Amino acid sequence: EVPAGPDYSVTFTPLGNKIVADTVTVPQGYVAEILYSAGDQCVIGSVGYSGLPQVHPATELQAGSQHDGMHYFAIPGVDPNKRGLLAINHENLDSKILGFTGGKYSAATATDVEKKTALSTVGVSVIEVERDASGKWSVKPSAYNKRYSGNTEYKVSGPAAAVVGASVIGTLNNCASGPTPWGTYLTCEESTDNYLDPTQAEEGYGWVVEIDPLNQMGTPTKRTAMGRFDHENTAYMLDDANRVAFYMGDDGTPGCIYKFVPRKAYDPANRAANFGLLDDGTLYVARFNGDGTGNWIELTQGKNGLVAGATDPGNFTQLATGTVISGTLVDFNTQADVLIKTKAAARVAGGTLMDRPEWITVGGDKTIYCTLTNNSSRKRTDAANPRTSNRHGHIVRWTETGNSPLATTFNWSLLLLAGDPSIAAANEKGNIVGHTFSSPDGIRVDPQNRLWVQTDAGTGSSTTSIFGNNSMYYVDQATGESKRFLVGPVGCEITGIGYTPDLTAFFINIQHPEGAWSTTAGWPARSATVVVRRTDGKPVGA
């Protein structure tokens, strides 16, 4: 519901085309200020990055690297427009500030300290942030400040725990994320193996991990009932009876779109009663039919072909039309088999192979959006993935039948095909109205029902000469018209969207900037969370 108050209609003056400046560019009347960079102090008593290569154990208490998905949480009893908690994912390494032999991490030759250093810089930061009287935000030394890393121990729960084990060391490739209605943080592992420490058994990764920023839930927990794949983010829809669905993309080339429906309703009156909700429920994969309808196919052992001796067709959309699909035999004897081999289960059950599903978001009118970032090696098309060699990606949207999170059918359409009319190749022009872009990744409908899109396109000159540096756009949900709101520095992707409830502060992540290696000649080459706000203190975008 949209509370009464200021007018949130979008009025910012959009930025121009092809901006390649090595800084964060924002519209007139806005500022972008660095809040929390890789290597900064996190846990009380830690020492921040000083210009010298950082190593474990100091790194275990500092900001991790490659900031990605993020969510802003209220602290009970505190005005959330002035102070709150940010949970921030760290996807990979900011190698330039870390002490690796030759400046780069190699799992094959790493010393024990190098391995610990690498693993300490992925995972999650929780930080308390505060606004001062002038409107500027800073990180507060706080008992809430915490790191969860590739060296931390995680509990494993749900139907696959019997196979995976009761606990796993490490979370990594923490890509995007999402909140739950009960105020916990779901950090998503976008890799099904521990590439930083290959000695760890691979069933331990590729899960959704639940973390409580308020520290009431206990040990962070890998929720196996939600499936194992290259998880991008989670987004939930709640109905009037407090039944909930969590939507999830598999950023595989190609990958499917999923939803998980807990068996029990969310209990708004008893926070702790919800801490096991993600262990018991039904996982579905989406099939996008050619006539604009869709089906949610249940991924339960014994149903929809998920039995012993099933034939997995593999990623057949990457094979030329006419090539024989040989398939591979896969056994689904238990639900643990289905959850550990979720990608194969989804293909066997008839899920649609999409062009790399990235973020999903649920709008105010319950329209659900998913970015399909690109898939340049697609060779067979379908209605929901209509372009071969899809270099620039597209955005699909759907509505559940009856707008119910429990629906098993839906209706879908394409919001837009990314690209630019100046490109010679017909299948790369796209149909964006307004400011064009490539490779949509982050997407979020904010509480005032405004749709924001962030890009993660290649950062070579062949891309930046058409689109400029990676950027963030406002997209009109009715017309598809796009307006460029923010442009990142050289080499970065733009990702992560957090905001205060009054929307006067937006938290945005600058991931892997690669420009100047100093604080004076361009953007500092460290991943960072920035705060974007208006100098007049009014809501962002309006």
Residue 295, token pair as written in the block? 């089906």
Task: Verify binding: residue 189, ligand FEO, rule CB under 6 A.
Answer: no
| Site residues (CB under 6 A) for ligand FEO, limited to 416-445 | 441
Picked from Ca ion, ligand FEO, none, the partner binding residue 197 (CB below 5 to 8 A depending on kind) is none
Nearer to Ca ion, 89 or 142 (CB): 89
Nearer to ligand FEO, 250 or 502 (CB): 250
239 binds, among Ca ion, ligand FEO, none (CB under 5 to 8 A by kind): none
> What is the secondary structure of 183-200 as a DSSP string?
S-EEEEE--SS-TT-TTS
Count of residues binding ligand FEO (CB under 6 A)? 7
Q: Is the dihedral of CA 55, 233, 356, 349 positive or negative?
A: positive
Q: Give the amino acid at 38.
A: A
Specify the DSSP class assigned to residue 158: S
Kindly tell me which of 358 and 446 has the beta carbon lying closer to Ca ion: 358
Distances (CA, A) of 81 to 73, 88, 498, 504, 508: 10, 18, 12, 8, 16
Q: Segment 285-304, which members bind ligand FEO (CB under 6 A)? A: none
E strand spans, 133-204: 137-140, 146-148, 153-157, 167-169, 174-179, 185-189
Residue type, 273: A
Cβ 246 to ligand FEO shortest distance, Å? 17
Under the criterion CB under 6 A, does residue 251 sit at the interface with ligand FEO? yes
Residue 190 found at the interface with Ca ion (CB under 5 A): no
Instruction: In angstroms, give the least distance from the CB of 92 to ligand FEO.
Output: 8
Integer CA distances (angstroms), 55 to 49, 58, 74, 115, 117, in order: 10, 6, 33, 10, 5
Which residues between 430 and 449 bind Ca ion (CB under 5 A)? 441
Burial of 214 (0-12, 13-18, 19+ CB in 10 A): middle
Q: How many residues bind Ca ion (CB under 5 A)?
A: 3
- Give the containing element (helix H, strand E) for 60: none
Cα(131)–Cα(454) distance, integer angstroms? 25
**Residues contacting residue 425 through CB under 8 Å, at least 6 positions apart:** none
Residue whose CB is less far from ligand FEO, 67 or 223: 67
> How far apart (Å, rounded) are the C-alpha atoms in residues 66 and 91?
5
- Judge whether 523 and 21 are in contact, CB under 8 Å: no
Residue 190 binds which one of ligand FEO, Ca ion, none, with CB within 5 to 8 A depending on kind? ligand FEO
Q: Do the Cβ atoms of 359 and 248 come closer than 8 Å? A: no
Identify the burial level of 65 via C-beta atoms within 10 angstroms of its C-beta, where 0-12 means exposed, 13-18 middle and 19 or more buried.
Answer: buried
Among 190, 250, 420, 502, binds ligand FEO (CB under 6 A): 190
Residue 446, contacted partner among ligand FEO, Ca ion, none, CB below 5-8 A by kind: none
Nearer of residues 244 and 492 to ligand FEO, judged by Cβ: 492
Among 415, 456, 492, 496, binds Ca ion (CB under 5 A): 456
Q: Which does 355 bind (CB under 5 to 8 A by kind): Ca ion, ligand FEO, none?
A: none
Q: From the CB of 251, what's the least distance to ligand FEO, in Å?
A: 4
Site string for Ca ion, 338-377 (x = CB under 5 A): --------------------x-------------------
- Residue from 114, 128, 203, 232 touching ligand FEO (CB under 6 A): that is 232
DSSP 8-state assignment for residue 265:
P
- Which of 175, 248, 299, 475: binder of ligand FEO (CB under 6 A)? 175
The Cα–Cα gap between 59 and 455 comes to 29
- The CB-of-173 to ligand FEO minimum distance in angstroms stands at 7
CB 385 within 8 A of CB 254: yes
Smaller CB separation from ligand FEO, 128 or 358: 358
Instruction: Candidates 218-226, 260-268, 453-461, 513-521: pick the segment binding Ca ion (CB under 5 A).
Output: 453-461
Per CB under 5 A, residues contacting Ca ion are 358, 441, 456
Per CB under 6 A, residues contacting ligand FEO are 91, 175, 190, 232, 251, 358, 441
